[in-house]
Amino acid sequence: MTNKVLQRIGLFGGTFNPLHNGHVNSIETVYEKLNLDHLYVIPASQSPLGDKVEGPSPLQRFEMVKVAFENSPINLRVEGIEIERGGISYTIDTVKYFKEKLPGAELYLIVGLDQFEHFDQWFQYEELLEEVNLVVASRPGAEFPQEISEYPKGLQGLVMSQEGLEVPLATDRRIIFVQLEDLDVSATEIRKSLRSGARQDLPIPEPVQQYIESNHLYEPLSKKIDDFERFTKVCAEILFEKNARGVLAFDVRNLVQPSEFTIVASGASTRNTSALAEHVVRQVKTRYGIFPQSIEGLKEGRWVVLDYGSLIVHLFYDYVRQEYRLEDLWREGRDMKVSQPENRVL
């Protein structure tokens, strides 16, 4: 009697906003190196650790991934379980779905090195590591952990030994590190390029580019905001509503800057700074119907950047602001002299 060989199944999730050549490279490299039998690409409806940014709907992101892999050379399927589920996507729920769908299969959960660095913040991460082998794909210029102390704290107690690129875990699973060919691609930078009109020679598959063009995705926010000077003043007033400290706004169109307008303000603590950023995002969404193009630093709350294209909002924890003094860079621009409005009803 021969032993039944378990199917080796790869699971690759993400928001894919948009799907780019870095994703394709990671998927195809891991598939070949791990000799997988099948790989599922799983677009998220909403990432539990991600921020809400302006962009295509979950269904449009799903369609972008589908068209990208219509003629894939590997045994791959785009799975819509998280889109159908809606809301925040927890990986443990998706893994349980595949355990039930494919009983007896050996599952390989594929993540990037940047995701791995915060893996112990994932919901029920310990249970995840009882169900799957974790495949960590490198990003260009990054190094894998060389010692157990370099692993996320929550994982350090699970690592049995640190030798080579396959690391045994106390859960009888493994962490497998896979080195990718250098392909430095950023979805954030792609979105910025698309919104600025620089749509040629981008590192995205041709079918994805065609889908973006035909569905008018990633268009400039200026199509929804016709007066960025007024928009800047509104954002300043929104910050005053929440008692932000030292709110300053500058018109920097006469300077070489990545935006035409900028705001800098402070919070009393890192938590307060993050709360200020979330308040701006909510109010702008309510009043203008848009999210930022990108958000940086929201989780830490030391320096949060909200990118609205022609306006960039910098929100600091007060002590960090004193260290960087970014407003000194904009003194040659025009101080818009924003102030606490007497009537807060806009």
Say if strands 174-178 and 166-168 run parallel, antiparallel, or are unpaired: antiparallel
Residue 127: inside a domain = yes
**By the 8 A CB rule, do 159 and 148 touch?**
yes
pLDDT greater than 60 at residue 344: no
341: confidence class by pLDDT, cuts 50, 70, 90: confident
* 85 and 142 share one domain: yes
Within a domain: 191? no
Domain boundary among 154, 178, 202: 178
Answer whether residue 66 is part of any domain: yes
Count of domains observed in the chain: 2
Tell me the three state secondary structure of residue 65: helix
Alpha-carbon Rg for the chain in angstroms: 23
Residue 235 belongs to domain with CATH number: 3.30.460.10
Residues 18, 154 share a domain: yes
Q: Is residue 162 in some structural domain?
A: yes
Whether residues 56 and 148 share a domain: the answer is yes
Is 3 inside a domain boundary? Answer: no
Q: Residue 51 — pLDDT band, cuts 50, 70, 90?
A: low
Do 166 and 147 contact (CB within 8 A), yes or no?
Answer: no
Q: Taking the CB of residue 291, how many other CB atoms lie within 10 A of it?
A: 19
Whole-model pTM: value is 0.83
Asked if residue 208 is part of any domain, the answer here is no
Is 233 found in the same domain as 169? no
Q: Within this chain, do residues 173 and 305 fall inside the same structural domain, yes or no?
A: no
What CATH code is carried by the domain that includes residue 104?
Answer: 3.40.50.620
Helix axes 270-288, 228-241, angle to 10 degrees: 130
Give 305 or 179, the one with higher predicted confidence.
305
What's the CA gap between 62 and 53, in Å, rounded? Answer: 17
Tell me: do 248 and 135 sit in the same domain: no
- Rounded to whole angstroms, the Cα distance separating 23 from 69 reads 11
Confidence category of residue 340, pLDDT binned at 50, 70, 90? confident
**Whether residue 116 sits in one domain with residue 51:** yes
Residue range of the domain that includes 328: 227-335
Residue 81 pLDDT > 90, yes or no? Answer: yes
Residues 36 and 163 in one domain: yes
